[in-house]
Amino acid sequence: MAITIDLNADLGEGFGRWSLTDDEALLAVVTSANVACGFHAGDPSTMRRVCAGAVAAGVRIGAQVSYRDLAGFGRRSMEVPPDELADEITYQIGALDAFARAEGDRVRYVKPHGALYNRAVHDQEQAAAVVEAVHRFDPALPILGLPGSLLLQRAAERGLTAVPEAFADRAYTRDGTLVSRRQPGAVHDDPQVVLGQAIQIACQRTVTASSGETVAVDARSLCLHGDTPGAARLARVVRDALEAAGVEIVSFA
Amino acid sequence: MAITIDLNADLGEGFGRWSLTDDEALLAVVTSANVACGFHAGDPSTMRRVCAGAVAAGVRIGAQVSYRDLAGFGRRSMEVPPDELADEITYQIGALDAFARAEGDRVRYVKPHGALYNRAVHDQEQAAAVVEAVHRFDPALPILGLPGSLLLQRAAERGLTAVPEAFADRAYTRDGTLVSRRQPGAVHDDPQVVLGQAIQIACQRTVTASSGETVAVDARSLCLHGDTPGAARLARVVRDALEAAGVEIVSFA
Amino acid sequence: MAITIDLNADLGEGFGRWSLTDDEALLAVVTSANVACGFHAGDPSTMRRVCAGAVAAGVRIGAQVSYRDLAGFGRRSMEVPPDELADEITYQIGALDAFARAEGDRVRYVKPHGALYNRAVHDQEQAAAVVEAVHRFDPALPILGLPGSLLLQRAAERGLTAVPEAFADRAYTRDGTLVSRRQPGAVHDDPQVVLGQAIQIACQRTVTASSGETVAVDARSLCLHGDTPGAARLARVVRDALEAAGVEIVSFA
Amino acid sequence: MAITIDLNADLGEGFGRWSLTDDEALLAVVTSANVACGFHAGDPSTMRRVCAGAVAAGVRIGAQVSYRDLAGFGRRSMEVPPDELADEITYQIGALDAFARAEGDRVRYVKPHGALYNRAVHDQEQAAAVVEAVHRFDPALPILGLPGSLLLQRAAERGLTAVPEAFADRAYTRDGTLVSRRQPGAVHDDPQVVLGQAIQIACQRTVTASSGETVAVDARSLCLHGDTPGAARLARVVRDALEAAGVEIVSFA
C-alpha cells in the first residue's frame, strides 16, 4: 500500500488591493487549499478566483475561518462568546461555499486560522464552537487541526472527521508539540531540514525533536507556509522530494 | 380565484449591539423576510436568529444584499466594478444561505438594499452584476425589485423570475414611478391612506397618483417598512385590512 | 468646603444608522462625556454632534477608547500587542480631538471602554499601553478608570492624573470591588438604592457592600449608564438627588 | 532665483499584515508624504512609523484622506452626503495629526486619495466638503490637488492655499488635462519620457501633450507613484535628474 499524505497551505490571503500569497504557484503544489473567507483576509473576488483555480487544478477547497479581525490578520486572540463565534464561522463557511459551488465544487473541510487555530488547541468553549459551526453546516465536513488539540478531540466526539496535520518547517519538542515561535530555532531555515522532516513525517510518521529524540507524529496532512518570501518555491521542492521518496500526494477531503 | 399578494419587509437590520427592526413582530406579519447579510447591517448571530424565526413562522427567507457600507447603512451609491459587485453579492447570499440551511430551509429570493436597489433601477452594469450573482448562485432564485427597473428586465432576460413590488406608504407619479423622497408628500403619513393604497394595489393592481390619476401598478409583493417607529404595528394593520378585503397573503417564493 | 463630584457617562455610542445613547438628555446631566471614537461605536458625524453639544452644555469631552471591534461593541477582550494597542488608542484620541477642537475645545481626558477597561484593571502590558498612548498624546490628560486598577497605578507612576470612578448602580463586595455581572444582584434595579449609593459615595466616600459592610470607595467621578432604557431619566434623578444633598457637580477635567 | 519643486508620493498604504508602498525608500526621495489615514489603507502602527520616518527625514506629513473603503482601496466613488464626508475627513486628519504631533511635527497639508481625488475635480458638493473639513481643522493647511479642479478653486475661494500638482508619468491632452487611464498610452512606461516630462514641468512649467502640442502646466508639486514595482527606484532617478537639471527640491508645506 502506497504511503500517502495531503499538502495544505493558506491561500487567498490578500484583501482588495493587497495580495500576500502566491495563489497560482501554490495551487500547482498543494492538494488542499485553506481559503481565507473575509474575516482575517480574503475579499470576495479573491475567493472566487482561488476557488476557480482550485477546481481547475483538482485541489480541495477548505474554509480557513478566523476571528473578525482584518486589522490584526486574525492573529489576535479574542474572547468571543461561543454562540457568537459559531455564528461567525457559519457565516464564513457559507460565503466560501457559494464560490466553491459556483465553480462546480463545494467546501470540503474547515481549518481555523491564526489565533483561533491556536486557541482551539486548549480552549474548551471555542473548540466546541468551531465544531458546532461545522456540524451545523455539514456533519460530513472534516476539521483540519493540530494533533492532540481539543479541537480535534471535540470534532471526533461530535462525529466529525478530525484530520491532524504536521509541519515540515517547525521544530518539535520531545512531547510532540511545536516549539514556541518565541524560542530560537522554532522554525527551520535550512531547506534540507525541511525536506528531511517532510519525508520523515510522511514515511515514518515521526519527527526528530529539537532535543534529539524520535517522536511519533500523527498527521494526514502537511501544512506548507505560503506567506513568506520564496514560500511557493519551497513548497514545490517539498512536494518533489516527497514524490521522489515514493509518497503519493492526495487530499484527505 | 382568490386575489393574493406577498408582504415583504427588511429584517435583521441591526449589527452587534445595535438593533433596528422589530424582527419578531414583523415575522408575524410578512410572508417574505429580506434578511440583511452583513454588508449594510446584519451580524451573523442576528442572521441566525432571523432565519430560525422565519422558518418557525413559515416566512420565506430572502437575501437583502447591499454595497459593503456599514457606516452608511448601504445608502451611499458606490461605483463598484461589476465583477467585484457580483462577487460581493455572491458572498452575501452564500453567508445567509448557510444560516437558512442550518434551520432547514434555504435562501428563496434576492432583493438589493438601499442605494444598490435604487441604482439597479437604471444602471445597466450594476443591474447585470446583481443578476449575474443570483444566476451563478441558483438560477431558480427570483429577484424582487421595482417594476420597470433594469434589474427586473435583466433578470427576466437571463431567465430568472422577476418579482415586482409596490409600496403602500409611498406616493406615486402619473408614470407609475415613486415620488422622490426629496419631494413633500413622498411618504404617506396617514395610516388610512396606507391601508387604502395597499388594498387598491392588491385588488385593483392600481394606485392613485399624487396628481389624481389612477395608474396601473404591477406588483406581486407589497413592501412594508420595518425600521420606523410603529412600523411593525402598521404592518400588522395593513395585513389585517388586506385579509378583511379578501386578499390572501402568500409568498411568491 | 463643598463636597463635589463629577458625573460621567458614555455618549455617542451609535454608528451610522444606529443610535443607542440619548446624547441630548445625557449632556444635560453629566459633567464629563465619554465619547465613542469609532472603534466600538461612534461614527464621525455623531462624534461631531456630541462634541458640539458638549461644548454648548459646558460638558468636558473625554475619549472613550476601545479595541477595534464594531461587531462586538468593544466587549470582547483581545490580545493586541502593546505597541499596536497604543497606536490604536492614539488614533482614536486624535480623531476625537479634531472634532473637539473644531468646536472650540479639546479632548480633556481618556477612559477605556468595555473589554479594554476591564482588562486594563489587571493586565500589565495593556494598562501600560493605554498610559503610553495618553502620555504620548498629552501628558496633561487625566485617565478615568477603576480605583485600584493597574491602569490608574501605571498612570500615576507615569506622572498622569489618575481619576478613580465609582458606580451608583453596581453592587460592591467587601473588598471594594464590583460584584461580577454574572452574580445575581450585581446591578441595582431599585432607583432608591441607586440614589442612596450615589449620595453615599459622594458624601461619605463609602458604599455598603452586598455583604453589609461599609467600605471606603475613592472616587472623583460617578459613572452613570446611558445605554439602557430609561437611563437618561435615572441619570437626571441621580443628579437632582446629589444636588439636593448639597453635592456640587463639577468635572474633574 | 532657483527653480524649485516639491515631490509628493503616497505612503503608508499598507494595512495590518499587508504592505504596499516602500515607505523607507520613498522617504529618502520625496519632500511631501501623503500618509494614508486608515479609511482606504493605513493602520495606526504604520501611520506612526511613517510619521516618525518623515520627521527624521525632514519630509512634510500630509493627510491622504479617502472614502471609507478598505475593500476597494478608496477607488470606488461614493455618494457620501457632504456633511458626512466632511466629518469623515476631519476624523482622518485628526487621527494622523496625533501621530505627527507625537513625533514632534503636525499635519502640514491635505490631499484626497483615489476616487475622492477624482470626484473632487468636478463634484461641487464633495469638493466643498473636503475644503470645509480642512478649513475646520486648520485654515492654514494647504490642499494638494489637480490644477483646474473644483477642489482647488473652492479651496482658494475659502482662503485656503491651493497647491496644484502634475504627473511625470501620465500623458496629458492638449487641454492640459490627464489622458484617461482607459486610453492606451495614458501612463508613460519609458523612464526617459518620465524624466523628460518631470524636468519640463519643473523648468518650463509645460508638458508635451500626446497630440504633440506644448501645454502650460501649473504645478508646485510633482506626484510620484509609489505602489508599483520599481516605483521607489524610479522616484529616486526622477529626483536625481531634477537636481542635475538644477531644480531645487523643496516642500510647499
Q: State the DSSP H helix or E strand holding residue C155, giving kind and residue range, or none if neither.
A: helix C150-157
Chain D residues touching B84 at Cβ < 8 A: 72
Query: How big is the A-D interface in CB pairs under 8 Å?
Result: 35
Task: With a cut of 80, say whether residue C18 has pLDDT above it.
Answer: yes
Tell me what pLDDT residue A190 has. Answer: 92
Q: Does B70 touch chain C (CB under 8 A)?
A: yes
Q: Does A95 touch chain D (CB under 8 A)?
A: no
Q: Does C47 touch chain D (CB under 8 A)?
A: yes
Task: Report the gap between the CA of A39 and the closest CA in chain D (Å).
Answer: 12
Cβ atoms C94, D94 nearer than 8 A: yes
Can you tell me the distance from the alpha carbon of B168 to that of B190, in angstroms, rounded to the nearest whole number? 11
Chain B residues touching D81 at Cβ < 8 A: 76
List chains touching B (3+ CB pairs under 8 A).
Answer: A, C, D
Q: Does D38 touch chain A (CB under 8 A)?
A: no
In this structure, the number of other CB atoms found within 10 A of the CB of residue A187 comes to 16
Q: With CB atoms and an 8 Å threshold, state whether A88 touches B48.
A: no
**Chain mean pLDDT for chain D:** 96
Q: What is the mean pLDDT of each run of 10 residues along chain A (253 residues)?
A: 93 96 95 98 98 98 98 97 98 98 98 97 98 98 97 98 96 92 91 95 96 95 87 93 97 95
Task: Report the gap between the CA of A146 and the closest CA in chain D (Å).
Answer: 24
Determine the residue of chain D that is closest to C137 in CA distance. Answer: D102
Q: How confident is residue B105, by pLDDT bands cut at 50, 70 and 90?
A: very high
Task: Report the gap between the CA of B87 and the closest CA in chain D (Å).
Answer: 12
Cβ atoms A127, A150 nearer than 8 A: yes
Q: With CB atoms and an 8 Å threshold, state whether D77 touches B78.
A: yes
Task: With a cut of 80, say whether residue D243 has pLDDT above it.
Answer: yes
Q: How confident is residue C72, by pLDDT bands cut at 50, 70 and 90?
A: very high
Tens-place pLDDT, residues C125-168: 999 999 999 999 999 999 999 999 999 999 999 999 999 999 99
Which residue, A4, A10, A3, is CA-closest to A235? A10
Residue among A13, A16, A75 minimizing CB distance to D71: A16
Which residue, D177, D176, D127, D185, is CA-closest to D151? D127
Q: Does D37 touch chain A (CB under 8 A)?
A: no
Can you tell me the distance from the alpha carbon of C141 to that of C162, in angstroms, rounded to the nearest whole number? 9
Chain A residues touching B102 at Cβ < 8 A: 90, 136-137
Q: With CB atoms and an 8 Å threshold, state whether A87 touches B47.
A: yes
Tens-place pLDDT, residues B208-236: 999 999 999 999 999 998 877 788 899 99
Tens-place pLDDT, residues C85-135: 999 999 999 999 999 999 999 999 999 999 999 999 999 999 999 999 999
Determine the residue of chain A that is closest to D18 in CA distance. Answer: A18
Tens-place pLDDT, residues A145-179: 999 999 999 999 999 999 999 999 999 999 988 99
Task: Report the gap between the CA of B113 and the closest CA in chain C (Å).
Answer: 14
Tell me what pLDDT residue C225 has. Answer: 87
Residue among C44, C90, C136 minimizing CB distance to D90: C44
Chain C residues touching A78 at Cβ < 8 A: 69, 72, 76-79
Q: With CB atoms and an 8 Å threshold, state whether C92 touches D95.
A: yes
Q: Does C229 touch chain B (CB under 8 A)?
A: no
Q: State the DSSP H helix or E strand holding residue C128, giving kind and residue range, or none if neither.
A: helix C124-137
DSSP chain D: ---EEEEEEEE---BTTB--S-HHHHHTT-SEEEEE-SSSS--HHHHHHHHHHHHHHTPEEEEEE--S-TTTTT-S-B---HHHHHHHHHHHHHHHHHHHHHTT----EEEE-HHHHHHTTT-HHHHHHHHHHHHHH-TT--EEE-TT-HHHHHHHHTTPPEEEEEESSB-B-TTSSBPPTTSTTSB---HHHHHHHHHHHHHHSEEE-TTS-EEE---SEEEE--SSTTHHHHHHHHHHHHHHTT-EE----
D4-11 and D248-249 strand pairing: parallel
Cβ atoms D114, D40 nearer than 8 A: yes
Tell me what pLDDT residue B239 has. Answer: 97
Query: How big is the C-D interface in CB pairs under 8 Å?
Result: 73
Q: With CB atoms and an 8 Å threshold, state whether D88 touches C44.
A: yes
Task: Report the gap between the CA of A17 and the closest CA in chain D (Å).
Answer: 6
In this structure, the number of other CB atoms found within 10 A of the CB of residue C107 comes to 29
Q: How confident is residue B76, by pLDDT bands cut at 50, 70 and 90?
A: very high
A27 CB burial (10 A radius; 0-12, 13-18, 19+)? buried
Task: With a cut of 80, say whether residue D140 has pLDDT above it.
Answer: yes
Chain A residues touching C76 at Cβ < 8 A: 78-81
Task: Report the gap between the CA of C51 and the closest CA in chain D (Å).
Answer: 12
Which residue, A177, A172, A163, A222, is CA-closest to A195? A222
Interface test with C, best of A66, A67, A70, A79 (most C CBs within 10 A): A79
Q: Does A253 touch chain B (CB under 8 A)?
A: no
Tell me what pLDDT residue C1 has. Answer: 67
Q: Does D48 touch chain B (CB under 8 A)?
A: no
Tell me what pLDDT residue A1 has. Answer: 67
Tell me what pLDDT residue C162 has. Answer: 98
Task: Report the gap between the CA of A80 and the closest CA in chain C (Å).
Answer: 6
Task: Report the gap between the CA of D223 and the closest CA in chain B (Å).
Answer: 25
Q: Does A101 touch chain B (CB under 8 A)?
A: yes
Chain D residues touching B69 at Cβ < 8 A: 68, 78
Determine the residue of chain C that is closest to A88 in CA distance. Answer: C71
Looking at chain C, the whole-number percentage of residues with pLDDT higher than 90 is 93
pLDDT mean over B40-48: 98
For the record, the C-alpha cell of D98 comes out as: 496625533
List chains touching A (3+ CB pairs under 8 A).
Answer: B, C, D
Query: How big is the A-C interface in CB pairs under 8 Å?
Result: 31
Which residue, C248, C143, C242, is CA-closest to C198? C242
Q: Does D83 touch chain B (CB under 8 A)?
A: no
Tell me what pLDDT residue C228 has. Answer: 76
List chains touching D (3+ CB pairs under 8 A).
Answer: A, B, C
Chain A residues touching D73 at Cβ < 8 A: 16-17
Residue among C38, C83, C102 minimizing CB distance to D45: C83
Can you tell me the distance from the alpha carbon of A209 to that of B185, in angstroms, rounded to the nearest whole number? 77
Can you tell me the distance from the alpha carbon of C105 to that of C58, in angstroms, rounded to the nearest whole number? 10
Chain C residues touching A79 at Cβ < 8 A: 76-78, 115
Which residue, D57, D88, D63, is CA-closest to D12? D63
Task: With a cut of 70, say whether residue C42 has pLDDT above it.
Answer: yes
Can you tell me the distance from the alpha carbon of B221 to that of A4, in angstroms, rounded to the nearest whole number? 56
Q: Does D122 touch chain B (CB under 8 A)?
A: no
Tell me what pLDDT residue A182 has. Answer: 87
Determine the residue of chain A that is closest to B132 in CA distance. Answer: A102
Residues 7 to 36 of B: which have CB under 8 A from any C CB?
Answer: 13-20
Q: How confident is residue D182, by pLDDT bands cut at 50, 70 and 90?
A: confident
Cell 430609561 belongs to residue: C230
Chain D residues touching B79 at Cβ < 8 A: 76-78, 115
User: Reduced to 3 states, what is the DSSP secondary structure of residue A113?
Assistant: coil
Q: With CB atoms and an 8 Å threshold, state whether A71 touches D41.
A: no
Q: Where are the alpha helices (DSSP H) in chain B?
A: 23-27, 44-57, 82-102, 114-122, 124-137, 150-157, 191-204, 231-244
Tell me what pLDDT residue A229 has. Answer: 77
Tell me what pLDDT residue D164 has. Answer: 98
Q: With CB atoms and an 8 Å threshold, state whether D70 touches A14.
A: no
The amino acid at residue A149 is: S
B206-208 and B214-216 strand pairing: antiparallel
pLDDT mean over D94-113: 98
Q: Does A208 touch chain B (CB under 8 A)?
A: no
Selected residue with higher pLDDT from C247 and B1? C247
So what's the ipTM on this one? 0.96
Q: With CB atoms and an 8 Å threshold, state whether C16 touches B43.
A: no
Cβ atoms A20, D17 nearer than 8 A: yes
- D79 alpha-carbon distance from chain centroid: 22
Residue among A45, A90, A102 minimizing CB distance to B44: A90
